Structure 1
Amino acid sequence: MKRWMTGALVAATIAATSRADERPMTIDDLLAVKSVGDPQVSPEGAAVVYVVSELDKEAGKTNSSLWLVPTAGGEPRKLTSAPGTNNHPRWSPDGKTLAFVSSRGGSAQIWLLPIDGGEARQLTKLPIDVDGPLWSPKGDRIAFAAQVYPGKSPEETAVQDKVKEESKSKVRTYDHLMVRHWSAWDEGKKSHLFVADAKTGEAVDLTPKLEVNTPPAPFGGSGDYAWSHDGATLAFTAEPIENHAWSTNTDIWLVPVGGGEPKNLTESNPAADGSPEFSPDGGRLAYISQARPGFESDLWVLRIRDLATDKTIDASSYLDRPIQGFAWKSPTELIASIDDDGTVPIVALPASGARDGSHKLATGGANASVSVGPGGESFAYLHHTGDKPGEVYYKSGDAEAKALTSHNAPLLAQLDLSPMESFTFEGADGAKVQGWLMKPPGFDPNKKYPVLFLIHGGPQGAWHDEWHGRWNYPLFAAPGYALVAINPRGSTGFGQKFTDQISLDWTGKVYEDLMKGLDHALATYSFLDEDKVAAAGGSYGGFMVNWICGHTDRFKALVSHAGVFDLVSMYGSTEELWFPDWEYGGPPWEKLEHYLDRSPSLFAENFKTPTLVIHGALDFRVPDVQGLGMFTSLQRVGVPSRYVWFPDEGHWIAKPANRIVWWREVHDWLAKYLK
């Protein structure tokens, strides 16, 4: 007994010392986090290759490298050392070679790395950048994507780019929308699907006449195209052929690799289809699909199409949760990541569509980027939580999942990071609403802490128990703030009805949910200081902050990032018009009263709360005139305010130097009113 107590005292002393050595997170820590991604299980199942990205703060660039780790566990091994881009690794079918994208030659090209040793060799040598290599089943060809002018070769595209660059006039002319998208103007080039010979690198454009992007811009990738079992066909996702600016009708096409016209496989569905994946037996095609045209946040459903009969079954809508990603596990089963109650679990789904066979394989936090091992007996994936960045995990059979990597462990050991804590309350109309709480570093239950109330964007999005590279929970909490983050009406992962209830009602039930959620947290957690509460939000969250500014003075300070301010002018300057058409019921000339009733710009006379307004000049989703309008109105009515404008950033602040400024401005503003 005495020996046990001595050991316990030693352990307690070590724990206390360790805890005392921990410190709050800083922006330098956030930038030092190694981003682990894209795990790929080898064909024989013995290893996982993955990507580690690290910021070079001084250069303002990201260096990424390939790593290899045994699935049995052991020390990871770095495979590439060249600076710049080294990403998107994919195993050859025989497991002897990795294809990956590298910028080591001056542009992004496909390189091949022998896994047993030897130097990587450059496969493609095109005068334009390429991305997303995928091996054919036989290993003789590699599919990839590259941007060209429709009807022109890569060489002709490079020549035209040079002519435009050297022209003294930089004028742009357009005859149709979109003229710009996300953070880039339309320069006339489109992403096309190519196939290269795996020995010579000679490449052919399979979609030379396509006038839209495949994969879809701006966030499409290699998950939007796939090889057929026999290697004769590629399935790909393409943007809407008509009315691109106000249509969500992405479709899945089939194109013969040997040449021929693409065939639209999902032409009968006027809503979105994407992410095709052929079954292991080659007879079926799985993909995700939406039912309602024009609604980007409709339920993403997993569908499976029999290629012989064209019969399609619904394999997931009974879950009432959106599919975020999936993979075939076997000819009879798939696994998928789903958005579920503020977490992202991995679930098994029968390919028959049977409901009784669905079950969870990985839970807690966020679990994504699944790669299935041979025979479907195992899979690798990324797992992360609000207080821990992503690492590669591996699950085999019925055994417990295990972490294969720990790249950020040395950094995390220095930091005082609190886990996310879930709570629920009764929102508008008595609905059950979920929220998150994060305690500040050095938490003492006997003290009172200022509260930072976070409002997510979308509006069809959600706060998850996940590591966020931009709106990072621990860094918000670092100065000594307790975080409260509500998933109000419109949030995803709580049933499609719950998600739908924000459309045409941006300021009703959602506002009530938010205020009731904050009230519940303040009443439930005695350490929250109800007299020191600030709110911050981005995109739709910025809109809601702007709305709050004109409708309540309960907050000591506000932070509005990329927030919509005037709904009418927003319609004429944003790019994806399907969004306001759906969310507000149509354009302003048809629904003017709706626009005016919900536009923060018309309530500026009520502004009282000090507000920090942040915007990027390259934000074409919510153009920067929205932020300037908010700041102008705040100044005009005499409310303390500050405008932070980034000339080289879009909707998200991404460059290291700018991220430092962003966090400094946010922390300084909050400290001014909460400390």
Structure 2
Amino acid sequence: MFKSKFIISVSLIIFISFSSFAQTKRAITVDDLWAMKRIGSFSLSPDGKTIAYTVTSYSFGTNKGNTDIYLIDADGKNLRTLKNSEKNESEPKFSPDGKSIAFVRDGQIWQCNLDGSNEKQLTNIYTGASDFEWSPDGKKMLFVSSVYPECTTQDCNEQKDKAYEESKVKAEIFTELMYRHWNDWRGHKRSHLFLLDIATGEFKDLTEGNKEDVPPPALGSSNDFNFSPDGNEVAFTLNPEFSTAISTNNEVYLLSLSSPSSPKLISTSKGVDCQPVYSTDGKWLAWTSMKRAGFEADKKDLILFDRKTGKMKNLTEDLDRSLEEFIWSTDSKTIYFTAQNEINSSIYKLDVESGNAELFYKENYNTSISISSDGKTLFFIKQRANLPSEIFSLSTDGRNTLRQITFVNKDLLSQLEMNSVETFWCGGANGDKVQSVLVKPPFFDPNKKYPMMFLIHGGPQGAWEDNFHYRWNYQMFASQGYVVVAPNPRGSTGYGQKFTDEISGDWGGKVYTDLMNAYEYAVKNFPFIDSKNTFAAGASYGGYMINWIAGHTDRFNALVSHAGVFNLESMYGTTEELWFPEWEFGGTPWQKREVYEKWSPHRYIHNCKTPVLVIHGAKDFRVPEEQAFQLFTSLQRLGVESKFLYFPDETHFVAKPLNSKLWWNTVYDWFKKHLK
């Protein structure tokens, strides 16, 4: 009898203690989102023992971020600061001998010892330097700088800038397309590739006179130029037709550094070729390649180029996944690469000789892969829906020994209740299977009813993934007590190229069926979803689909359309990358007018009865602001309840901390207002 009472008492104490501990956690807030430190790039030392990485911290007070550099041992021990100041220090890269680190500050490249001492400025170039690469012997660097193509001296660049600044006339005369791109006016400068002699500080423009950018401003990678292992050659990416606004033809070129010569074109595809990387032994050059011209979301294959014979081979012809980034093993026999695989960005291992590729590590969202000098360990950045980016390591021996190296948000994360992603599959158009992400709200109770937040991704060739997105964040929606459902319908990547292709020319067709089927499946099969309280939101193509939904269904209590396409024909005339609409709709509006009209949401908006919150940034050149003006005007004239949140200082994205805070609070209030 005494023993039973004692067990009950102890159990009660444990339960009370656990409950008290659990209640110390809370849902994530906007302040928490911006308090999280964000890991950027990292560099592994040549001996594999040390990692240099950047961390960006944001402040509502300054309304911007600050980036610093830290060092940590490869086993996760001995964390220390390398550079921590009010200025941004970024892009740390170990020298080939491992004795120093170069980095970028104030638009110039600097170098210091591993303890941060003996700081030295390596470049002193008026037009600035960034995106650098060490030569294998550590005596030279490649870097990028934006210059006037006609200028052969820095004085020329400076005088042209000064003349423009002093001129009282700011008008421009355009004679060709691509006069603006993404979020910026393109201007007259172009990104050129430079070679720096570290000992003398002298530099040379390797692409002098070129009227296109190296690396290209679109559809490239973060690794678009590299030295050969002997340092005598450079491989780089260039689109010779970018300014036409209709070309996706990025090409790979070779340039000899040992003898005067012109760049030599070696890629053959009319689609996107980029990311040229030499094998460690120097025998091979590999790059990623898309076959089809004019399409930005074709499957990326891995092309192997024999530097001696010039013969090429497609190593991933039979793999129905699109490569993202890759690295060579130290013995040049293996290539590790990442590819989107359903909701994951998985790591694959490819045998160069046989071409056989195998799934090496599947889970979560993995990027920035690097390998130790002994070939035994992979290092990479991993994130998942309830974990912001951190550096991890993984053994290459097949045992998948995973280890977390950094813990930059450990204290903050310990205070937050965030659920991991779940997924479900349902039938879509033509009976094809469609996968959806599901995230439950914090402190979820299966016996309760929760409103549903239905999220639609952009692209349209994109996907919801198991990652921690700093703009469209699952946890931020779930924190308000919503069950988040985020489908990957037709057009989504990670499910094979056929599935991706089937949205082109059919923007409101099969994809709409996929989405609505996912919606119906969720409300019918998850009893904790309150079918009387469902909401939908999306941006870019996701905003397009919200606008389409507005004219085709009244399933939802309220909608949010961020940077959404509304009028396809006027969108064509104001966007910049014309290859995109011309591929998606089969041509120009005068060639395919019936297609543009069929799939344009503005032709159906008179059917709208659902309240819509419209959000747009004035500096969005991809989906220009006139799309939002047309949508909001239509809603107001139709008498549909609507609100317009307009950011004069934002682009396609809302990137400033205080603007983001307003964004989230406005969205929260909009949905809360329409809860039944």
> What residue number does 1:354 align with?
355
Check the 8 A contact 1:213/1:239 in 2, yes or no: yes
> What residue number does 1:201 align with?
201
Which residue identity lines up with residue 672 of structure 2 in the other structure? A
Residue 50 of structure 1 is aligned with which of 34, 48, 53?
53
> What residue number does 2:66 align with?
63
- In 2, distance between residues paired with 1:541 and 1:635? 22
> What residue number does 1:381 align with?
380
> What residue number does 2:404 align with?
403
Cα displacement string for residues 537-556 of structure 1 (whole angstroms, at most 9, x for unaligned residues): 00000000000000001110
> What residue number does 1:611 align with?
612
Residue 626 (str. 1) matches residue 627 (str. 2): yes
Residue 110 (str. 1) matches residue 109 (str. 2): yes
Cα displacement string for residues 244-279 of structure 1 (whole angstroms, at most 9, x for unaligned residues): 300100011112235644434345321110011000
- In 2, distance between residues paired with 1:145 and 1:349? 31
> What residue number does 2:23 align with?
20
Change in Cα spacing, 1:221 to 1:96, as seen in structure 2 (3 Å) is farther
**Percent of pairs identical after alignment?**
43
Check the 8 A contact 1:253/1:262 in 2, yes or no: no
> What residue number does 2:178 align with?
178
For 2:285, what is the secondary structure of its paired residue? Answer: strand
TM-score of the two chains, using structure 2 as the length reference:
0.96
Query: Where does 1:557-576 land on structure 2 (aligned, <5 Å)?
Result: 557-576=558-577
Check the 8 A contact 1:489/1:510 in 2, yes or no: yes
Which residue identity lines up with residue 344 of structure 2 in the other structure? T
For 2:629, what is the secondary structure of its paired residue? Answer: helix
Residue 318 (str. 1) matches residue 321 (str. 2): no
- Quote the offset at 1:313 in angstroms: 1.5
Check the 8 A contact 1:315/1:352 in 2, yes or no: no
> What residue number does 2:145 align with?
146
> What residue number does 2:294 align with?
294
For 2:329, what is the secondary structure of its paired residue? Answer: strand
Check the 8 A contact 2:83/2:116 in 1, yes or no: no
- Quote the offset at 1:351 in angstroms: 1.6
CA RMSD, 1 decimal: 1.8
Which residue identity lines up with residue 442 of structure 2 in the other structure? P
- In 2, distance between residues paired with 1:5 and 1:132? 64
> What residue number does 1:423 align with?
424
Q: More displaced, 220-229 or 231-240?
A: 220-229
Residue 34 of structure 2 is aligned with which of 31, 55, 64?
31
Check the 8 A contact 2:254/2:266 in 1, yes or no: no
Change in Cα spacing, 1:442 to 1:281, as seen in structure 2 (3 Å) is same
> What residue number does 1:600 align with?
601
> What residue number does 2:233 align with?
233
Which residue identity lines up with residue 192 of structure 2 in the other structure? H
Which residue identity lines up with residue 651 of structure 2 in the other structure? G
- In 2, distance between residues paired with 1:12 and 1:339? 42
- In 2, distance between residues paired with 1:38 and 1:625? 36
Q: More displaced, 72-81 or 587-596?
A: 72-81
Check the 8 A contact 2:241/2:247 in 1, yes or no: no
Q: More displaced, 498-507 or 344-353?
A: 344-353
Which residue identity lines up with residue 160 of structure 2 in the other structure? Q
- Quote the offset at 1:117 in angstroms: 5.1
- In 1, distance between residues paired with 2:264 and 2:226? 15
Change in Cα spacing, 1:4 to 1:146, as seen in structure 2 (3 Å) is farther
> What residue number does 2:486 align with?
485
- Quote the offset at 1:438 in angstroms: 0.5
Number of residue pairs matched by the alignment: 669
For 1:601, what is the secondary structure of its paired residue? Answer: helix
Change in Cα spacing, 1:8 to 1:151, as seen in structure 2 (3 Å) is farther
Which residue identity lines up with residue 364 of structure 1 in the other structure? E
Check the 8 A contact 2:178/2:243 in 1, yes or no: no
> What residue number does 1:155 align with?
155
Question: Which stretches of structure 1, 4 residues or more, deviate above 6 A after TM superposition?
Answer: 1-11
> What residue number does 1:86 align with?
89
Query: Where does 1:335-346 land on structure 2 (aligned, <5 Å)?
Result: 335-346=336-347
- Quote the offset at 1:243 in angstroms: 5.7
Cα displacement string for residues 174-205 of structure 1 (whole angstroms, at most 9, x for unaligned residues): 11111100011121101010111122322111
For 1:50, what is the secondary structure of its paired residue? Answer: strand
Change in Cα spacing, 1:110 to 1:243, as seen in structure 2 (3 Å) is closer
Check the 8 A contact 1:266/1:273 in 2, yes or no: no
- Quote the offset at 1:8 in angstroms: 7.6
For 1:542, what is the secondary structure of its paired residue? Answer: helix
Cα displacement string for residues 274-295 of structure 1 (whole angstroms, at most 9, x for unaligned residues): 0110000111111100000011
- In 2, distance between residues paired with 1:538 and 1:587? 24
Change in Cα spacing, 1:14 to 1:39, as seen in structure 2 (3 Å) is farther
Query: Where does 1:435-514 land on structure 2 (aligned, <5 Å)?
Result: 435-514=436-515
Change in Cα spacing, 1:247 to 1:17, as seen in structure 2 (3 Å) is same
- Quote the offset at 1:126 in angstroms: 1.2
- Quote the offset at 1:345 in angstroms: 1.0
- In 2, distance between residues paired with 1:27 and 1:219? 32
Change in Cα spacing, 1:267 to 1:403, as seen in structure 2 (3 Å) is closer
Check the 8 A contact 1:460/1:492 in 2, yes or no: yes
> What residue number does 2:131 align with?
132
Structure 2: gaps spanning 5 or more residues: none
- In 2, distance between residues paired with 1:466 and 1:557? 26
- Quote the offset at 1:132 in angstroms: 1.0
Q: More displaced, 548-557 or 251-260?
A: 251-260
Cα displacement string for residues 115-158 of structure 1 (whole angstroms, at most 9, x for unaligned residues): 15524221111112221111000100011111001031333222
Structure 1: gaps spanning 5 or more residues: none
Which residue identity lines up with residue 440 of structure 2 in the other structure? K
For 1:213, what is the secondary structure of its paired residue? Answer: coil
Check the 8 A contact 2:611/2:641 in 1, yes or no: yes
- In 2, distance between residues paired with 1:291 and 1:613? 37
- Quote the offset at 1:72 in angstroms: 2.3
Change in Cα spacing, 1:625 to 1:13, as seen in structure 2 (3 Å) is same
Cα displacement string for residues 405-446 of structure 1 (whole angstroms, at most 9, x for unaligned residues): 101111111111111101111111110110010001121111
- Quote the offset at 1:66 in angstroms: 1.1
> What residue number does 1:555 align with?
556
Residue 276 (str. 1) matches residue 276 (str. 2): yes
For 1:339, what is the secondary structure of its paired residue? Answer: strand
For 1:436, what is the secondary structure of its paired residue? Answer: strand
Residue 669 (str. 1) matches residue 667 (str. 2): no
Residue 168 (str. 1) matches residue 168 (str. 2): yes
Which residue identity lines up with residue 24 of structure 1 in the other structure? A
For 2:520, what is the secondary structure of its paired residue? Answer: helix
- In 2, distance between residues paired with 1:297 and 1:514? 21
- In 1, distance between residues paired with 2:34 and 2:201? 37
Which residue identity lines up with residue 74 of structure 2 in the other structure? T
Cα displacement string for residues 350-391 of structure 1 (whole angstroms, at most 9, x for unaligned residues): 122522xx3333331101101111032212100110111010
Change in Cα spacing, 1:260 to 1:540, as seen in structure 2 (3 Å) is farther
- In 2, distance between residues paired with 1:169 and 1:521? 58
- Quote the offset at 1:588 in angstroms: 0.5
For 1:223, what is the secondary structure of its paired residue? Answer: coil
For 2:674, what is the secondary structure of its paired residue? Answer: helix
